[in-house]
């Protein structure tokens, strides 16, 4: 049964009644049914025809340069419409006709994969959870055999071509709503624009329409803000076509602005990167790294990283002239916005950091908002901290950790004790950062920001735990072998398990509060936390097999953490079909990790049961006391509540039908039994079509 368009968009159950389903009848809306599977089949057929045409024209390239030129011409003519659509697939990096023709003939280049990107860690998790669980693991599938490739090479999403009506700017009422959403959400940690000047720009555009067509800078920043505001305002919508329509209009003017080579060009780069990193559901990491590289060169030209910039090309902004008194502060903001985005992409992709923190001489931005900057004599007491400054501080800590763990060759040769001292120092800085969260004054934000993750305490706590996890994850400085045994008072595997489950729990709170940003960077972060959780579970279980006194994760807590992580990932992936392979990878690895943990728990359970009959056993009593201290491990009385056959049968079912479909009914029953009858992201995300595809 195929859901109607309205139920598909709202992610509600559709009874399939004709001519109008029950949900549409109750709401009094039009009921239209489209076969999305048929649409995908047609798209696949179009690609197959395109491939066949390329194969036919390909051999002619071997007969000489004249034939090559003729072949290229015929290929462009025969695939005009398809090539035009494919060129719009990546609107973030503008291309010319010559570069498009060049891309057809040159071979694809390999990706540079740094140490922190996690590709090697995926392989490590695969070896950890599969190396000792072969007896309980189902026969490998193609996705299972290429675990790393499934995540590192996501498929490109289909392009969204806006209609002619979407190319027109919206009404002023709609525009003001999107502008308010932008400043309530993105501006909190990305204050690139001066709000009073932008509001004047909006009034001028709707008062005199010629100003939009005549001034490329104002038109670009207006459309870019609408795109980002639409992404924040419509994050629960199934299709991002309106958001991409605004962004497409902005990109049509990007090349003109980049020719200025002043602060306007820098702001344009950063707005594009902000959209590509935090508002796009397509993996844009490579494109963002290239754009940020260009922005970094321009940043050095403008001396934005210096305390006193010598360049005079920073007086004019995309919004026009701004008051002289705040020009220097806006330059400082512009640099730290670049710094934040550059650190996100470079650490994620494992690249060296540019510029280095040692090369930065500019001060931190002030904590006042735009209105207080404009009228300092009328401003209230200066806030102690701002979300923007707090965001910068965590990126600086992460930069130190990234250089120490991944990019610095000298740190790898240090003695282990000295490396531990450095890591403890970073943990101390991180703890001080966490203690500053109450000073942000998040309760003073406007009502609209209640849906912004940047005004949620849980979001900052999730960042904290992710950074702790980054410090304890296997790295060139701390290879995975150094985590196998506790060192002094530091147990790396246990710290990894506790940090990963804490991060998952905080992201769960953000998701339930409907504040989660649906983007590829968010999916990557949660996916890596889930992988670290599985890795630590498998390694801790294997360590307990030889050392009965070492820490063993409680079985029920491990199951709950895995389920929570999968729910969050599915809530994101349901909006992004191409990366459902991440859910498949996580599902298969989690089954093996759970099987390994369960096997060790059952070994201790049988041993404890035998010792209770033959007499007291010191190791058994120590294990039982240890589990009672953990306060939540099913040992051994609690373990008696579970039957081994039931758990083995459950893991087998999950492996057969992919992912977590078998757990859906139980999860939904628990949600409704707790009185949460309202629609939520996870329950609504398990749609009928999702089950059809993975079944």
User: What average pLDDT does this structure show over 145-174?
Assistant: 53
pLDDT score recorded for residue 438: 86
Based on the domain organization, do 178 and 263 belong to the same domain? Answer: yes
Q: Which residues contact 262 (CB under 8 A, 6 or more apart)?
A: 302, 313, 314, 316
481 versus 373: the higher-pLDDT residue is 373
Based on the domain organization, do 409 and 452 belong to the same domain? Answer: yes
Beta bridge partners, 316, equal: 321
Question: CB-side exposure of 169: number of CA atoms within 13 Å?
Answer: 24
Based on the domain organization, do 331 and 411 belong to the same domain? Answer: no
Tokens 């304890």 correspond to: 472
Phi-psi region of 552 (alpha: psi -120 to 50; beta: other; left: phi over 0): beta
The DSSP code sequence of 404-467 is IIII-HHHHTS-HHHHHHHHHHHHHHHHHHHHTGGGG-GGGS-GGGGG-GGG-HHHHHHHHHHH
Q: What is the largest CA-CA distance in the chain?
A: 92
Angle between helices 327-349 and 263-274 (to 10 degrees): 40
Based on the domain organization, do 365 and 412 belong to the same domain? Answer: no
Residue 532 has pLDDT above 50, yes or no: yes
CATH number at residue 16: 4.10.240.10
Residue 451 has pLDDT above 50, yes or no: yes
**604 inside domain:** yes
Based on the domain organization, do 367 and 409 belong to the same domain? Answer: no
Q: In whole angstroms, what is the distance from residue 355 CA to residue 347 CA?
A: 13
DSSP state of 246: H
Total tally of structural domains belonging to the chain = 3
**87 inside domain:** no
Give the percent of the chain with pLDDT over 70.
65
Q: Which two tokens stand for residue 3?
A: 């859901």
Cα-based torsion angle of the residue sequence 385, 295, 231, 158 in order, rounded to the nearest 10 degrees: -150
Do 529 and 502 meet the contact criterion of CB atoms below 8 Å apart? no
Based on the domain organization, do 419 and 365 belong to the same domain? Answer: no
pLDDT score recorded for residue 256: 92
pLDDT score recorded for residue 241: 73
Q: Which two tokens stand for residue 292?
A: 């940020």
**551 inside domain:** yes
pLDDT score recorded for residue 560: 94
Cβ neighbours, 10 Å, residue 587: 23
Q: Which residues contact 13 (CB under 8 A, 6 or more apart)?
A: 7, 23, 688
Based on the domain organization, do 489 and 534 belong to the same domain? Answer: yes
- Domain end, chosen from 373, 408, 424, is at 373
Angle between helices 580-614 and 555-573 (to 10 degrees): 170
pLDDT score recorded for residue 55: 73
Q: 3-class secondary structure for 35-103?
A: CHHHHHHHHHHHHHHHHHHHHHHCHHHHHCHHHHHHHHHHHHHHCHHHHHHHHCCCCCCCCCHHHHHHH
Residue 422 has pLDDT above 90, yes or no: yes
Residue 85 has pLDDT above 50, yes or no: no
pLDDT score recorded for residue 110: 46
Based on the domain organization, do 326 and 437 belong to the same domain? Answer: no
User: What average pLDDT does this structure show over 39-60?
Assistant: 71
User: Is the backbone peptide bond immediately before 222 cis, with ω within 30 degrees of 0?
Assistant: no
Residue 420 has pLDDT above 60, yes or no: yes
Do 529 and 522 meet the contact criterion of CB atoms below 8 Å apart? no
pLDDT, tens digit, for every residue of 617-635? 444 444 444 444 444 444 3
Q: What is the pTM of this model?
A: 0.70
- The closest alpha carbon to 440, from 385, 402, 477, belongs to 385
Mean pLDDT over all residues of the chain?
A: 74
Cβ neighbours, 10 Å, residue 15: 13
Q: Which residues contact 580 (CB under 8 A, 6 or more apart)?
A: 573, 694
Q: What phi and psi values does residue 321 have, to the nearest 5 degrees?
A: -70, 140
Beta bridge partners, 4, equal: 33
Residue 487 has pLDDT above 50, yes or no: yes
Question: CB-side exposure of 570: number of CA atoms within 13 Å?
Answer: 25
pLDDT, tens digit, for every residue of 314-372? 778 898 888 888 899 999 999 999 999 999 999 988 888 989 999 999 999 998 888 88
Angle between helices 65-78 and 36-57 (to 10 degrees): 160
Based on the domain organization, do 308 and 446 belong to the same domain? Answer: no
Do 60 and 70 meet the contact criterion of CB atoms below 8 Å apart? yes
Helix (H, G, I), strand (E, B) or coil at 173: helix
Based on the domain organization, do 403 and 361 belong to the same domain? Answer: no
pLDDT, tens digit, for every residue of 669-695? 454 444 444 444 444 443 333 344 333
pLDDT score recorded for residue 432: 96
pLDDT, tens digit, for every residue of 154-166? 434 444 444 455 4
**75 inside domain:** no
Residue 103 has pLDDT above 50, yes or no: no
Based on the domain organization, do 576 and 469 belong to the same domain? Answer: yes
Give per-residue burial for 190-199: e unless 16+ CB within 10 Å, then b.
Answer: bbbbbbbbbe
Q: 3-class secondary structure for 97-143?
A: HHHHHHHHHCCCCCCCCCCCCCHHHHHHHHHHHHCCCHHHCCCCCHH
16 pLDDT band, cuts 50/70/90, is: confident
Residue 423 has pLDDT above 90, yes or no: yes
Based on the domain organization, do 358 and 475 belong to the same domain? Answer: no
Residue 236 has pLDDT above 70, yes or no: no
Query: Where is 320: in which H helix or E strand?
Result: strand 320-321
Total residues belonging to the chain: 695
- The closest alpha carbon to 580, from 151, 130, 38, 141, belongs to 151
User: What average pLDDT does this structure show over 435-445?
Assistant: 77
**102 inside domain:** no
Residue 109 has pLDDT above 50, yes or no: no
**387 inside domain:** no
- Domain end, chosen from 356, 373, 390, is at 373
Q: In whole angstroms, what is the distance from residue 216 CA to residue 662 CA?
A: 54
**66 inside domain:** no
pLDDT score recorded for residue 14: 86
Structural domain harbouring 560: 399-694
State the Cα angle at 175 between 173 and 176, rounded to 5°: 70
- Domain end, chosen from 58, 73, 102, is at 58
Q: In whole angstroms, what is the distance from residue 558 CA to residue 593 CA?
A: 9
User: What average pLDDT does this structure show over 407-432?
Assistant: 92
User: What average pLDDT does this structure show over 614-619?
Assistant: 51
Q: What phi and psi values does residue 679 have, to the nearest 5 degrees?
A: -65, 135
Query: Where is 316: in which H helix or E strand?
Result: strand 316-317
DSSP3 helix / strand / coil % (the chain, rounded to 5): 70, 0, 30
612 pLDDT band, cuts 50/70/90, is: low
pLDDT, tens digit, for every residue of 539-564? 899 888 888 788 899 999 999 999 99
**84 inside domain:** no
Question: CB-side exposure of 126: number of CA atoms within 13 Å?
Answer: 17
């Amino acid at each position: 049964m195929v859901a109607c368009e309205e139920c598909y968009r709202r992610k509600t159950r559709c009874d399939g009644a004709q001519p109008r389903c029950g949900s549409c009848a109750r709401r009094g809306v039009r009921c239209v049914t489209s076969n999305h599977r048929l649409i995908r089949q047609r798209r696949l057929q179009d690609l197959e025809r395109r491939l066949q045409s390329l194969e036919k024209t390909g051999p002619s390239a071997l007969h000489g340069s004249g034939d090559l030129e003729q072949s290229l011409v015929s290929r462009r003519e025969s695939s005009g419409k398809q090539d035009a659509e494919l060129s719009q697939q990546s609107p973030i990096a503008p291309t010319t006709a010559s570069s498009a023709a060049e891309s057809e003939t040159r071979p694809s280049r390999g990706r540079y994969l740094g140490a922190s990107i996690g590709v090697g860690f995926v392989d490590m998790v695969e070896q950890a959870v599969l190396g000792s669980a072969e007896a309980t693991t189902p026969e490998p599938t193609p996705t299972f055999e290429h675990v790393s490739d499934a995540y590192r090479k996501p498929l490109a999403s289909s392009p969204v071509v806006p209609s002619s009506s979407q190319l027109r700017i919206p009404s002023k009422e709609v525009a003001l709503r999107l502008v308010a959403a932008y400043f309530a959400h993105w501006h909190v940690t990305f204050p690139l624009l001066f709000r009073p000047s932008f509001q004047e720009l909006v009034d001028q555009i709707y008062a005199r329409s010629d100003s939009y067509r005549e001034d490329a800078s104002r038109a670009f920043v207006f459309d870019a803000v609408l795109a980002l505001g639409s992404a924040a305002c419509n994050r629960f919508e199934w299709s991002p076509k309106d958001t991409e329509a605004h962004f497409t209009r902005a990109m049509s003017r990007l090349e003109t602005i980049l020719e200025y080579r002043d602060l306007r060009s820098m702001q344009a780069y950063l707005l594009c990167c902000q959209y590509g990193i935090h508002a796009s559901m397509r993996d844009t990491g490579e494109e963002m790294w290239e754009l940020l590289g260009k922005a970094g060169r321009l940043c050095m030209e403008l001396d934005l990283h210096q305390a006193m910039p010598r360049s005079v090309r920073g007086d004019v902004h995309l919004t026009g002239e701004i008051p002289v008194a705040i020009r220097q502060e806006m330059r400082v903001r512009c640099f730290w916005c670049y710094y934040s985005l550059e650190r996100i992409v470079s650490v994620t992709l494992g690249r060296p950091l540019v510029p280095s923190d040692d090369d930065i001489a500019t001060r931190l931005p002030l904590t006042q908002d735009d209105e207080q900057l404009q009228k300092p004599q009328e401003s209230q007491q200066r806030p102690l901290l701002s979300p923007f400054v707090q965001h910068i501080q965590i990126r600086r800590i992460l930069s130190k950790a990234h250089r120490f763990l991944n990019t610095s060759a000298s740190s790898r040769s240090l003695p282990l004790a000295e490396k531990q001292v450095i890591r403890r120092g970073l943990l101390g800085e991180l703890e001080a950062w966490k203690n500053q969260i109450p000073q942000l004054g998040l309760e003073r934000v406007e009502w609209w920001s209640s849906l912004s993750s940047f005004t949620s305490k849980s979001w900052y706590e999730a960042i904290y735990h992710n950074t702790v996890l980054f410090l304890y994850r296997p790295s060139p400085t701390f290879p995975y072998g150094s985590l196998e045994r506790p060192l002094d008072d530091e147990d790396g595997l246990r710290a990894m398990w506790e940090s990963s489950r804490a991060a998952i729990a905080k992201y769960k709170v953000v998701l339930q509060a409907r504040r989660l940003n649906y983007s590829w960077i968010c999916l990557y972060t949660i996916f890596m936390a889930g992988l670290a959780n599985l890795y630590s579970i498998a390694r801790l279980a294997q360590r307990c097999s030889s050392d009965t006194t070492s820490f063993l994760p409680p079985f029920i807590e491990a199951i709950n953490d895995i389920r929570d992580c999968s729910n969050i990932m599915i809530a994101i992936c349901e909006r992004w079909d191409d990366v459902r392979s991440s859910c498949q990878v996580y599902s298969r690895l989690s089954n093996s990790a759970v099987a390994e943990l369960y096997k060790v728990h059952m070994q201790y359970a049988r041993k404890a049961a035998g010792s209770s009959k033959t007499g007291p056993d010191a190791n058994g009593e120590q294990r039982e006391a240890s589990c009672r201290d953990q306060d939540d491990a099913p040992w051994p009385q609690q373990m008696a509540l579970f039957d081994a056959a039931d758990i083995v049968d459950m893991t087998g079912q999950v492996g057969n039908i992919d992912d977590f479909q078998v757990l859906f009914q139980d999860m939904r029953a628990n949600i409704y039994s707790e009185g949460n009858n309202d629609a939520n992201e996870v329950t609504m995300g398990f749609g009928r079509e999702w089950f059809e595809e993975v079944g």
